[in-house]
Structure 1
Amino acid sequence: MSVEQNQMRQEDVIPLIVSQLAEYGYAQLAQVVAEQTHTSVSIKPSSRLSELLFIAREESVEIEPTDPSKLHPSSFSSSSASMMDEDDDTEAGTKLTRLNLDTDPKLTTPGPAPNLSTVCTTTHKEAVTCTTFSKDGRYAASGSADASLKIVDVNKMKLVNDDAHPVIRTLYDHSSPVTDVDFHPNGLVLAASSDTVVKLYDLSRPSVKRSFRYLQDSHPVSSVSFHPSGDFLLVGSEAETVRIFDVKTLQCFTPRAFSGPASSNSAAATVDTTTSAAGTASSQQQQQGPHRAGINHIEYAPTGSVFITASQDGSIKVWDAISGKVVRTIEHAHSGKGVTTATISKNGKYILSGGLDSVGKLWDLGSGKMIHGFQGAVQQNEKQSVVFSYNEDFVFSSDESNNTIVCWDSRTATLLRRYTGHQALIRSISASPVENALVSCGDDNRLRYWCTPSALAESRS
C-alpha cells in the first residue's frame, strides 16, 4: 500500500472514529483525538447515555425502572425543595415520618426498637466492603474486596425458600476492592468505585457484566453519590477536593470552597473552644475553605440543594450544590478524630454523623451545635456506618468490639437494642428507604438482609 493510499484511508477513518467515540459517550476522548489529529468534526453530546439513564428499553429485563415521573427535573425544583422544608411531620402519600425535634412530642420513655432478624444472607469470596439500597427499596447492591458486585432482589430475599435466588446479577469489572456503590434514581444504573476509578453499569441488560463507562480520578475514591435528579455524581477521595461529574458529558467540576472573608453566618459554625482570639480569623477562613485531608464520605441531601462531606481532618462541611460554596463547617466534630460518615435528614434540619471517637452525633445544621450523642458502640479503628431508619425514628450503627448492630432512639439517643449475626467486623449498614429493614455486610464475607415479621407477612401476602 502506498503512502498516499494510507493517508487517504486515515483521512476517511479518523473522522469516523471521532464521531463514534462521541456517539458512545466518550466526548472528551473524541475531542482529544480530534485535536491531536487536526480533524475537523462536529462533536455532539452523546444520546446513548441519556437513553441508558432515562429510557427503559422495550426488551424484557430483570431490573425495572422506577416511576419515570419522579426523575423529571421539575420534581426537584425550588418549589419541591421548599415543600421538603415545611414542618409537616408526614410526607404526602406515604407512611414515612421524619425527624423534627421542634414539633415532635417530647418523649419520656422511648418506643421499642424494631424487631429485626436476619431472613437472608448472600456471600462474596472475600470481605464485603459496602452496600446500598435502590431509591425505591426494591434492590440492594454490595461491593467486595474480591472486586465483584452483587445485585439482590429484596422481595426474593423475603421469600426465604430454596426456589428463590435473590442474587440477580454479579458484576466483574474491577481489579481492586470495591469501596462504595450507589444506585441512579431510575434504578437502571449503578455507580461503583475502586482504587482511582468509578465505573457505571447498565443494569437493564441482563447479559452485560461489564461497565459501559468509567470516570478516572487522581486519588483512591472512597465515596460516591448520585444527585436526586440523576444528572450529577459526587465523588469523594483521599484528596481534599470534591469532584462533581456531569453523568451525560463526564465533565468534571471542582467547587471553589473558599471565596473571601468568612461571613457572620459561617462564623456561627462550631469551632474548638480552645481557639485563641488571635486565631479566630484563621479559623473562620478554614471553615469556608476546603478540607485539609481526604474525604471519607460524600452525599447529596434528599432535596439535592446541598451536599455534605465527612473528612479525615475531623470536620464536616455542608456545601451549596449550585454555587459550590461551603455554607456550614463543623470543626472537631468527633474530638478531632476522623469523621467517617455524615448524612442530612429529610427536612434538611439535622446532620447525623459518625467518627472514630465511638460516638454517633446528631447536629443542628443551622447552628452547627450538637443536639445529642449516640453512645455504646466502639468505633476506633475502622470506617463504619451511622444511618437513620427509613422514617428517622431510629439510628443504626455497628460495634467493632462485638460485631453487633446497635439501635438507638433518634429523639432521645437511648440505646434500645443490639442485633447479633455477623461473625466479624461489620463494614457497612444501609437502611431501606421504604420500611424497617437493613442490609449489612462485613469481614465474614456476608451480606445480611434484616427485616421485621410484619414486612415479611406483607410481602408474602
Structure 2
Amino acid sequence: MTNNHLNNSNASNPEDDPEPTNLIKSREFLYKLIISQLFYDGHQSIGTSLQQAVQAEANNAPSDRLFRLILTGLEHEPSLKERPKNVGIGNNNIGPGLDLEFETESSIPAPEPALYETAYVTSHKGNCRAGCFSADGQLIATGSVDASIKILDVDRMLAKSAPDEMDPSRGEQQGHPVIRTLYDHMEEVTCLEFHPKETILCSGSRDMTIKLFDITKASVKKAFKTITATEPIRAMSFHPGGDHLIVATDHPVIRLYDMNTLQCFVCPFQNHQHTKIVTNLKWSKDAKLFATCSRDGSIKLWDGVSNRCINTFPKAHEGLEVCSVEFSRNGKYLLSSGKNSICKLWELTTSRCLIAYTGAGTTGKQEYEAQAVFNHSEDYVLFPDEATTSLCAWNARNASRKQLMSLGHNGAVRRIAHSPSQAAFLTCSDDFRARFWYRRTPTL
C-alpha cells in the first residue's frame, strides 16, 4: 500500500450514471418474453397487468420462446462442483454460501438458529459489548466496559456444558474454558478481531488505543504492540491476508494501518468520506473491497488497493443510522442492518437492495446499534431484536421469518457474532454476560 495508490483522482458512483442503452433494450426484451409466455400459458390478466406495470408494447403475441430458451440454458448450467469456489474459507463442509443465481443444492441444510442452546455463559464486571470468533472458529474473545478481555476455548466450553457427549478426538477438554484474561486498556473495550493468519488478538478501546496481544503466551497480560489514535476506537477489520487493518473511530475518516510498519493511510479526498461517525466496517473475503456504514445513513464501498470510495448507497436504511455491514463469502452481496430494525441484502454489481428482512423491532426505531450476521453456511440471517431481547432469523434467500428464540439476557444485546465454521454464535449484553450458543447434533 503506497501513497501513490491513495492519491488517485476522485471516484465516480455507478448510481449517478444512466443505465446503458443496451441494458435497457435487453430488459425490455426480457419483459416481452415474460409477457408472451404468460399469454401462452393462459395467464392473460397477469400478462396484461405486467405489460402495464413495465409500460411494454401492447402487441405481444402468445409464445413459449422463453420456456425454450430456459431449457436450452439449463443444459449449460454449471453443476455445484463446477461453480467457482468461495474465497477465504478453509472448511469445505459448510456449503457453497449464498448465491441467488442458483438453486440450493445442499443435501444437509444448516440447523435453524432457534434450535441452538446456551452452551456456556461468561461474566465480566461491566457491560459486555465486544466479541468475535477466531478464523477457525476454535476461540472466542469478549470485551467489556470494565476494560478486560477474555479469550475462551470453544471445545472446553462444549466439554464443560456436556462432558458425556464430547468427542475425545476434538481436542483438549480439561481445564477452564477461559484460557486468557487480558488487562491492558484503561477504558471500555469496544471491538475485537483475531488476526486471520497469526495467533494474535487485536483490541480497540475508548482509551484511543489499538492493542495487539500474543495469545500463545499464557503468562502475558499486556500487549506486545500498541497503536495510538486521536479518537476512541469504534470498529476494525483485518485484511484477509493480515497485513492491513481498517479502523473506524469517533471521526468520519477511515484509517488504514500497515500492520508491519504501523503507518497510517487515509483517503485524501474529503468528498469520499462519510459525514458522520462510522459505525462498522468489513473487508470482503477476496480483499478486493471493504465496506463502511455510518450514522449519516449511507453505506460506502472502497477499493482495497487504492483506498478510494468507488460507490455510495445513500439513505440505505431510509436515512437512519446504518449499524453493520457484512459481505457474503462470494463477494456478490452485502448484508446491512439499520436503526429501523430492518436488515437488507444488497447486490453489489447493480447497487440494488434485493431483499429486505423485516419483522424485527416491534417498537419501531431501536436505541442501540445491532448487527445483522450470516450463519456459517449463509442459509440464515440473524439479528437481535432489542425490544424483546430475542433472536430474529430469516431464510437468507427468501426472507421468510423463522422461529423467534429468547436470548436469555437481562439487558440489550450489544454484539452478535456467528462462528465461521459451525452452528454456534456469541451474544454479548449489557447484563455483563456473554453467552455461547451451540447446536448439538442429535444422537440417534
Give the structure-1-normalised TM-score: 0.70
**Which of residues 325, 328, 331 is equivalent to 1:342?**
325
Partner of 1:316: 299
Residue of structure 2 equivalent to 1:101: 100
8 Å Cα contact 1:157/1:164 also seen in 2: no
Instruction: State whether residues 201 and 213 of structure 1, in contact with CA within 8 Å, keep that contact through their aligned partners in structure 2.
Output: yes
2:167 corresponds to 1:168: no
Quick one: distance in 1 between partners of 2:224 and 2:84? 42
- Partner of 2:126 in structure 1? 126
Please tell me whether residue 397 in structure 1 is matched to residue 409 in structure 2: no
Offset at residue 239 of structure 1 (A): 1.0
Call closer, same or farther: CA 1:86–1:317 in 2, change over 3 Å: farther
* CA distance 1:88–1:227, shift in 2 (3 Å): closer
Distance 1:355 1:213, change over 3 A: same
Aligned with residue 403 of structure 2, among 404, 417, 426: 417
Q: Secondary structure at the match of 2:404?
A: strand
Shift >3 Å, 4+ stretches: 85-93, 161-164
1:408 matched to 2:394? The reply is yes
* Residue matched to 1:182: 193
Letter paired with 2:138: R
Aligned pairs, number:
342
Find the aligned partners of 1:371 and 1:291 in 2 and give their Cα distance.
Answer: 24
Q: Give the AA of the match of 2:214.
A: D
Match of residue 442, structure 1, among 417, 429, 442: 429
Contact 1:340 1:385 in 2 (8 A): yes
Deviation sequence 1:204-257 (CA, Å, 0-9, x none): 111000111111111221001111111111111121111011111111111235
Deviation of the 1:433 alpha carbon: 0.5
* Distance in 1, Cα, partners of 2:269 & 2:440: 47
- 337-346 vs 182-191, which moves further: 182-191
Name the residue aligned to 1:361. Answer: 344
Kindly indicate whether the alpha-carbon contact (under 8 Å) linking 2:426 and 2:435 is maintained by their aligned counterparts in 1: yes
Unpaired segments ≥5 residues, structure 1: 1-84, 259-285
Cross-structure match for 1:246: 258
SS in 2 for 1:417: coil
One-letter amino acid of the structure 2 residue matched with residue 425 of structure 1: A
CA distance in 1, matches of 2:411, 2:290: 32
Flag the 1:321–1:257 CA change in 2: closer, same or farther, 3 A. farther
Q: Contact between 1:257 and 1:326, CA under 8 Å: does it hold in 2? A: no
Deviations 1:376-401 (A, max 9, x none): 22251101111001111011110110
**Kept after mapping to 2: 8 A contact 1:362/1:371:** yes
Distance 2:443 2:405 in 1: 21
Aligned to 1:422, the other structure's residue is in SS state coil
Alignment match of 1:234 (pick from 226, 236, 246): 246
Secondary structure of the equivalent of 1:241?
strand
Are the structure 2 counterparts of residues 105 and 201 from structure 1 closer, same or farther at C-alpha, using a change threshold of 3 Å?
closer
Is the contact made by 2:132 and 2:192 (CA closer than 8 Å) also made in structure 1?
yes
Relative distance call for 1:254 and 1:361 in structure 2 (3 A) is same
- Change in CA separation of 1:257 and 1:374 when aligned onto 2, cut-off 3 Å: farther
Give the CA deviation at 1:299.
Answer: 1.2
Partners in 1 of 2:337 and 2:231 — Cα distance? 23
Percent identity of paired positions between Structure 1 and Structure 2: 35
State the Cα deviation string for residues 136-160 of structure 1 (Å, max 9, x = none). Answer: 0010001101110000000011112
Give the letter aligned to residue 222 of structure 1.
R
Deviation at 1:327, TM superposition (A): 1.8
What letter corresponds to residue 345 of structure 1 in structure 2?
S
Please report how far the alpha carbon of residue 441 of structure 1 lies from its aligned counterpart in structure 2 after TM superposition. Answer: 0.9
The alpha-carbon distance between structure 1 residues 404 and 187, as it changes in their structure 2 partners (threshold 3 A), is farther
Tell me if structure 2 keeps the 8 A contact 1:256–1:324. Answer: no
**Counterpart AA for 2:415:** S
- The equivalences for 1:239-318 within 5 A come to 239-257=251-269, 289-318=272-301
Q: How is 1:365-384 mapped onto 2 (pairs within 5 angstroms)?
A: 365-378=348-361, 380-384=366-370
Report if aligned partners of 2:192, 2:203 keep a CA contact under 8 Å in 1: yes
Any idea what SS the aligned residue of 2:402 has?
strand
| Alignment-mate amino acid for residue 367 of structure 2 | N
Provide the rounded CA distance (Å) in 1 between the counterparts of 2:219 and 2:104: 51
What amino acid is the match of 2:151?
Answer: I
Q: Residue by residue, what CA displacement relative to the aligned partner does 1:1-24 show, whole Å, maximum 9, x if unpaired?
A: xxxxxxxxxxxxxxxxxxxxxxxx
Closer, same or farther in 2 for the Cα pair 1:229/1:373, shift >3 Å? Answer: same
Deviations 1:20-75 (A, max 9, x none): xxxxxxxxxxxxxxxxxxxxxxxxxxxxxxxxxxxxxxxxxxxxxxxxxxxxxxxx
Q: Distance in 2 between matches of 1:202 and 1:179?
A: 19
- Name the residue aligned to 1:137: 137
Q: Which residue of 2 aligns with 1:151?
A: 151
Structure 2: which 5+ runs fail to align? Answer: 1-81, 164-173
Give runs of aligned pairs for residues 30-49 of structure 1, distance below 5 A: none
RMSD in angstroms over aligned alpha carbons?
Answer: 2.4
On the 8 A contact 1:135/1:187 being kept in 2, the answer is: no
Q: TM-score, normalised by structure 2?
A: 0.73
Rounded Cα–Cα distance in structure 1 between residues aligned with 2:123 and 2:86: 39
Alpha-carbon distance between aligned partners in 2 of 1:149 and 1:343, rounded to the nearest angstrom: 24
Superposition deviation, residue 409 in structure 1:
0.7
Task: Please report how far the alpha carbon of residue 105 of structure 1 lies from its aligned counterpart in structure 2 after TM superposition.
Answer: 4.7
Contact kept in structure 1, 2:110 and 2:423, CA below 8 Å: no
2: CA distance, partners of 1:178 / 1:169: 15
TM-fit CA distance, 1:360: 0.8
Q: In structure 2, the residue corresponding to 1:416 is in which secondary structure? A: coil
